[in-house]
Chain A
Amino acid sequence: MSTATPHTGFGSIPSPEAEDTGMRSGSDGVLLFCVIALMVFGCLAVYSSIAYFAENRGETAGAFLFKHGFKLSLAFITMFVAAKVNYRIVAEWSKVVLIVSWVLLIWVSYNGVEVHGAKRSLSLAGVAFQPSSVAMVALLMYLCHMMFQKRTYIEDFGKSFFPALFWICGTALFVGLEDFSSAALILLLSFIMMFVGRMSVKHLGLLVLSGALLGGLLVSQTQERQSRLNNYVNQVLNIQSSQLVGNPGGYQAQQAHIAIARGGLLGVGVGKSTQRDFLPAPYNDFIYAIIAEEYGLLGAFALLLIYVVILIRGVIFIANRARDDLGAYMAMACTITIVVYGLVNAAVATGLFPVTGLPMPFISYGGTSMLTAGFMMGVLMNISKHRREEHEDA
């Protein structure tokens, strides 16, 4: 039996009223458990690692923990609200939000608040707000929506591939003005979504090829880029443990390694990290290293496991069993965004990736990333409510 979703025609999405035909079930309890577990982990790690930063700002760690808790509850509320809103409505509004976020991105790069030499956020009623993460969510949602609309001619280059590429490259460009690593991640996630959205493998292969060519061209052009690439490869392969490294990237990776090494199997104990004084932004970029130090290999593995559980839940149980392709796409987009962010942060802390400054969803101290993660988790939960009745494809 084919899906029961009635389609009103091309370019439109199933109306919300039609949903009673699908099977309704409760939100995913496992996901909720994972989110709460991550948040508890995050509270402990942030409280421990922010003390030094707080002291330098003349405030107490308690005050920052309170702020963190406030953001967590906002994210929680966002998650529940998003879980109540039908994902089709989200898809419908995504194009508007994406265009607004483009405008915001351009505006921010001229009038934003400068943090670490880059203008990434604007102050909204006293709360720092980063349009780039909103743009990313909106892009991914809109991509899902578009691919679902064009699903009958999805392999067409001019009608499907090119428009998708336009929105992706446009967003990546505007985000990349101030935040290169976020833009790179947007490209990566969009590429995965294009693959998931059944676009032509030929076209995607062409994209990878041209990307590789462009990259190779850029690297080969200057000596500096070559040596930076070499440095990075060396850094991943050899952990410089005998002496302190001079260049900032290497230094930070090395400090993260020291944190992991100090942690051992069971960790040095809650709140006993010493590397938090040496790592930059230990409450954000390098929070995984702090967790590895305080809770050891076991704690760090448990954290990875939570993300893997989210991945399994999101891909196998939700996307794969979604009522329609739109649900599957969106479930996939939400899942990989949260998981890839989490894993990339861990990969940076362990020295696999170069230092990026990306937050760990539900763990790191940070406002906008927390809200977008909560929103995506909410969308994922909403999709999980609408399952297909039969499981013959599973």
Chain B
Amino acid sequence: MKSDRNVLAARLLLVFGALLILPAAILVQMLRIQFAEGDALRELGNLQSTHQIAIPAQRGNIYDINGRLLVTNTVSYSVAVDPLVTNPQPNETERIAAILEYFTGRSRAEFLRTIRQAPQGSRYIVLGRDFDRAVFDSLRAHRFRGIILEERFRRHFNHDNMASHVLGYVNHESSGMDGLERAYNDLLRGRDGQQHVRLDSQRRIRQYVGAPSRRPQQGHSLITTIDAHIQAIAEEELQAGLRRTGARQGTVIIVRPENGQVVAMANYPDFNPNRPGTIGRETRRNAAISDMIEPGSTFKLVTAVAAFEQGAVQLDEVFNTPESGTRLIRGQLMRDHIPLGDITFRQAIERSSNIATAEAAMRLDRDVFFQYVRNFGFGALSSIDLPGEESGRLRRPLHWSGVTQPWMSIGYEVQVTALQMVMSYAAIANDGRLMRPYVVDHVVDESGRVVQQNRPTVIRQAVRPETVRALQPAFQNVVSEDGTARLASVAGLSIAGKTGTAQKFIDGRYQQRYRASFVGYFPAEAPKYAMIVLLDEPQTSIFGGTTAGIVFREITRRIMGVDHNVRNLVQRDLRDIYERRTPQLTGLQADNAGNLAASLGFRLVVQGEGTRVSEQQPAAGQPLAAGEPIRITLNNAARTEITEGARPLVPDVTGLSMREAFAVLREAGYEIQQTGSGTVAAQFPQAGAVMQRGRAVSIRGRAPGMDVLISDRGGG
């Protein structure tokens, strides 16, 4: 037994000793890992577990010249599901679908079908990209296992189609594709920040490590030279003009002659940059700067300036145009729109005589004439800060045929853009100085510091100021009773301008299709605005004066209501023909309506019982003979248009007095931004626009009675 015991003890000790090898080996191995390989392993560990992710920078805003927000960002929430996640909550997909149904109104079956029809094994099924914050919050609160919620900045164009061609649009990555969004993409974009994160083996983010290693640098904001009021006016009137004339498309550009700022630039058809993909590329092109056209008669400005400044003609020199109204010039037949007989050069300008203009042009050396055309900026880029500009087409004199010079003098055999055309007239308005047009006034950073200031740039002195002063009366007279554009005239305001009717050159020959235009500036004495109106193929009349001229007039007289400086130049006292107009009383509380009427000196006849005015006779804005009372009906129901909740509409306050407008807008729940006084000439946003209550409606006043004066003329 004893020897057995000893054998056992010996074997126990042997096993004990053998087993001690293992911890010793582990110890050695750990030391080896730690000290021999430690650095490389630690670096590998850091490499696989840390990562830098971008903190997206917000794209900058775009404002109009008065600080009104045109383009900004909204946050959109996208929802995706991973149906293969481990341990989902019971009925998880059904519950997600039910929540989405509750918030969006789309049926839950639709969402479930999306999930079902996804490819086998897919772990990222997008249910939608444009959800509200409420959906996001609700889904997050449920702590679903298989849901993927993402927050993204989306570009938002506040006024949909307004100024769409100027502003441009962005792609799905919020990178500018056209317009200002493209031209200023680098400034708008900002710089993404960086954040260290810790990843797991699936490279999913486990946690954020410390503060951002680089804070996002938010994009810069653009303050443009666009005036949203005038832009809206231009677009409205352009559309109205297209409807009236049946034209295919149209363009309006308004610039400030003294500095080249673009106040408004509109093309129609336009598009909604919030959804650029819904419309063709052709429509998204900014025709105002990229369409090359033969200008027609509006180009005679260049000829007149060149011939006069070179001393080739005198203003009262008489040209004999033939009785027939046609003449062969270098073998080609040129015709006036009506036979004009013997006319002075001044009359030739006013009445747009092709034959007289061509004769004057032919007295000039072709190089001299070419130089004048170049000096006005034709055949060269205007260098506006918008992408896609064309330089037009102007052949060098070397390549001119015998008829080029006379035909170019009346606006053929040369191709220009609408912008070049308006800039050349702006040069005349600016004492002969051709300016570089620009759309962005300055660029500010996040804290409002100006990082870039665009300053007016004189490209060159295109003509001498004396020439301008001498010729201006002739251009002003175009708009008078004698000229071709009298329909463009606005009472009390002196406008200098020129009509144009150009035959379109398609497929190698001139067609019986026309492009009507009117280019001008006003007030002629101290020009504040230069404007071009271009209508493509108007159906009602081919003449620029009766089509484009009317659009020009309508825009001009509405600008007068908006711009004090222009209005103050209208000298005539308009108070004599002032007629009283009925204020808007409907929707007001009975007491307020009474006070308002009393303060304006109206008498009220009240019918019915109640706290609110439900009807009035005559309607707001209608004229009212002196002494006539306003009949109002009261009831207790609040007006449905005002209380009906979801989509508050901006009421129409144009034509009301400031006091009335205040009452109506307050009643509708809006704040008011007032400029000027008197009756409301313009409002922004337009009546009928959907806008959240509590935001400001800006209204601009003008002296009472002016609209009376201008509406008695016209007749276009």
Q: Which residues on A are within 8 Å of B, measured CB to CB?
A: 2-3, 52, 56-58, 151, 192, 195-196, 198, 239, 241-244, 254, 257-265, 274-275, 277-278, 292, 297, 300-301, 304, 307-308, 311-312, 315-316, 319-320, 325, 328, 332, 336, 339-340, 343-344, 346-347, 350-352, 393-394
Q: Which residues on B are within 8 Å of A, measured CB to CB?
A: 1-2, 4-9, 11-16, 19-20, 22-23, 25-27, 29-34, 36-42, 44-45, 48-49, 86-89, 145, 198-201, 206
Inter-subunit contact B30/A350 (CB<8 Å): yes
Chain A residues contacting B19 (CB-CB under 8 Å) are 311, 336, 339-340, 343
Q: A241-B37, A347-B22 are in contact. Are A198 and B8 (CB under 8 A)?
A: yes
Q: A56-B86, A308-B20, A336-B19 are in contact. Are A196 and B37 (CB under 8 A)?
A: no
Inter-subunit contact A261/B33 (CB<8 Å): yes
Contact of A56 among B7, B13, B37, B87 (CB under 8 A): B87
Inter-subunit contact A336/B15 (CB<8 Å): yes
Q: Which residue of B lies closest to A339 (CB)?
A: B19
CA distance A312 to B15 in the complex (A): 11
Contact of B11 among A195, A300, A308 (CB under 8 A): A195
Inter-subunit contact B20/A320 (CB<8 Å): no
Q: Which residue of B lies closest to A275 (CB)?
A: B45
Chain A residues contacting B200 (CB-CB under 8 Å) are 52, 277-278
Q: Which residue of B lies closest to A322 (CB)?
A: B8
Chain B residues contacting A344 (CB-CB under 8 Å) are 22
Chain A residues contacting B29 (CB-CB under 8 Å) are 347, 350-352
Inter-subunit contact A195/B27 (CB<8 Å): no
Inter-subunit contact B15/A308 (CB<8 Å): no
Nearest first, the 5 closest Cβ-Cβ pairs linking A and B are: A261-B41, A241-B40, A277-B200, A258-B45, A350-B29
CA distance A260 to B26 in the complex (A): 12
Q: Which residue of B lies closest to A261 (CB)?
A: B41
CA distance A292 to B26 in the complex (A): 12
Inter-subunit contact A57/B1 (CB<8 Å): no
Q: A196-B12, A301-B27, A332-B15 are in contact. Are A393 and B6 (CB under 8 A)?
A: yes
Chain B residues contacting A198 (CB-CB under 8 Å) are 4, 7-8, 11
Chain A, interface SS category: helix
Q: How far is the CB of B193 from chain A (nearest CB, A)?
A: 23
Q: A315-B16, A328-B12 are in contact. Are A274 and B49 (CB under 8 A)?
A: yes
Contact of A58 among B14, B22, B89, B199 (CB under 8 A): B89
Q: How far is the CB of B8 from chain A (nearest CB, A)?
A: 6
Chain A residues contacting B23 (CB-CB under 8 Å) are 304, 307-308, 343, 346
Cβ contacts A to B, 25 pairs, < 8 Å: A3-B1, A52-B200, A52-B206, A57-B87, A58-B88, A239-B33, A239-B36, A241-B44, A242-B44, A257-B33, A258-B44, A258-B45, A264-B34, A274-B45, A297-B31, A304-B26, A308-B23, A311-B16, A325-B4, A339-B19, A344-B22, A347-B22, A351-B29, A393-B6, A393-B9
CA distance A278 to B19 in the complex (A): 31
Q: Which residue of A lies closest to B199 (CB)?
A: A277
CA distance A305 to B418 in the complex (A): 90
A261-B37, A261-B39 known, 16 other contacts, Cβ within 8 Å:
A192-B15, A198-B8, A244-B48, A257-B33, A257-B37, A262-B45, A263-B34, A274-B49, A278-B201, A300-B30, A301-B30, A304-B27, A311-B20, A315-B12, A340-B22, A351-B29
CA distance A347 to B33 in the complex (A): 13
Residue in B7, B8, B11 whose Cβ sees the most chain A Cβ within 10 Å: B8
Inter-subunit contact B34/A241 (CB<8 Å): no
CA distance A278 to B15 in the complex (A): 36
Chain A residues contacting B13 (CB-CB under 8 Å) are 315
CA distance A265 to B30 in the complex (A): 11
Inter-subunit contact B5/A393 (CB<8 Å): yes
Q: Which residue of A lies closest to B17 (CB)?
A: A315
Inter-subunit contact A58/B44 (CB<8 Å): no
Chain B residues contacting A301 (CB-CB under 8 Å) are 27, 30
Residue in A196, A260, A265 whose Cβ sees the most chain B Cβ within 10 Å: A260
Q: A195-B15, A264-B34, A346-B26 are in contact. Are A151 and B4 (CB under 8 A)?
A: yes
Chain B residues contacting A311 (CB-CB under 8 Å) are 16, 19-20
CA distance A339 to B14 in the complex (A): 15
Q: How far is the CB of A204 from chain B (nearest CB, A)?
A: 11
Q: Which residue of B lies closest to A321 (CB)?
A: B9
Residue in A2, A274, A325 whose Cβ sees the most chain B Cβ within 10 Å: A274
CA distance A300 to B28 in the complex (A): 12
CA distance A319 to B199 in the complex (A): 50
Chain A residues contacting B86 (CB-CB under 8 Å) are 56-58
Residue in A254, A261, A262 whose Cβ sees the most chain B Cβ within 10 Å: A261
Q: Which residue of B lies closest to A301 (CB)?
A: B27
CA distance A32 to B582 in the complex (A): 101
Inter-subunit contact B37/A278 (CB<8 Å): no
CA distance A208 to B23 in the complex (A): 23
CA distance A2 to B32 in the complex (A): 50
Inter-subunit contact A244/B44 (CB<8 Å): yes
Inter-subunit contact A325/B22 (CB<8 Å): no
Chain B residues contacting A292 (CB-CB under 8 Å) are 30
Q: Which residue of A lies closest to B6 (CB)?
A: A393
Chain A residues contacting B42 (CB-CB under 8 Å) are 258, 261-262
Chain B residues contacting A328 (CB-CB under 8 Å) are 8, 12
CA distance A114 to B230 in the complex (A): 75
Q: How far is the CB of A264 from chain B (nearest CB, A)?
A: 7
CA distance A366 to B30 in the complex (A): 26
Chain A residues contacting B33 (CB-CB under 8 Å) are 239, 257, 260-261, 350-351
CA distance A332 to B16 in the complex (A): 10
Q: How far is the CB of A358 from chain B (nearest CB, A)?
A: 13
Chain A residues contacting B2 (CB-CB under 8 Å) are 2, 393
Q: Which residue of A lies closest to B36 (CB)?
A: A239
Q: How far is the CB of B651 from chain A (nearest CB, A)?
A: 53
Chain A residues contacting B14 (CB-CB under 8 Å) are 195
Chain A residues contacting B20 (CB-CB under 8 Å) are 308, 311
Inter-subunit contact A319/B12 (CB<8 Å): yes
Q: A260-B34, A264-B34, A336-B15 are in contact. Are A277 and B26 (CB under 8 A)?
A: no
Q: How far is the CB of A235 from chain B (nearest CB, A)?
A: 12
Inter-subunit contact B26/A261 (CB<8 Å): no
Inter-subunit contact A2/B1 (CB<8 Å): yes
Q: Which residue of B lies closest to A201 (CB)?
A: B11
Chain B residues contacting A262 (CB-CB under 8 Å) are 41-42, 45
Chain B residues contacting A151 (CB-CB under 8 Å) are 4
Chain B residues contacting A278 (CB-CB under 8 Å) are 48-49, 200-201
Inter-subunit contact A352/B25 (CB<8 Å): yes
Inter-subunit contact B12/A320 (CB<8 Å): yes
Q: Which residue of A lies closest to B2 (CB)?
A: A2
Q: Which residue of A lies closest to B25 (CB)?
A: A352
Contact of B40 among A2, A242, A336 (CB under 8 A): A242
CA distance A332 to B40 in the complex (A): 42
Inter-subunit contact B34/A347 (CB<8 Å): no
Q: A196-B8, A198-B7, A393-B5 are in contact. Are A274 and B198 (CB under 8 A)?
A: yes
CA distance A121 to B134 in the complex (A): 46
Chain A residues contacting B30 (CB-CB under 8 Å) are 260, 292, 297, 300-301, 350
Chain A residues contacting B8 (CB-CB under 8 Å) are 196, 198, 325, 328
Contact of B34 among A192, A261, A275, A394 (CB under 8 A): A261
CA distance A2 to B6 in the complex (A): 12
CA distance A332 to B15 in the complex (A): 9
CA distance A159 to B595 in the complex (A): 123
CA distance A311 to B42 in the complex (A): 33
Chain A residues contacting B16 (CB-CB under 8 Å) are 311-312, 315-316
Chain A residues contacting B88 (CB-CB under 8 Å) are 58
Chain B residues contacting A315 (CB-CB under 8 Å) are 12-13, 15-16
Chain A residues contacting B25 (CB-CB under 8 Å) are 347, 352
Q: How far is the CB of A384 from chain B (nearest CB, A)?
A: 15
Q: How far is the CB of A376 from chain B (nearest CB, A)?
A: 16
CA distance A244 to B46 in the complex (A): 12
Chain B residues contacting A260 (CB-CB under 8 Å) are 30, 33-34, 41
Chain A residues contacting B9 (CB-CB under 8 Å) are 320, 393-394
CA distance A258 to B37 in the complex (A): 9
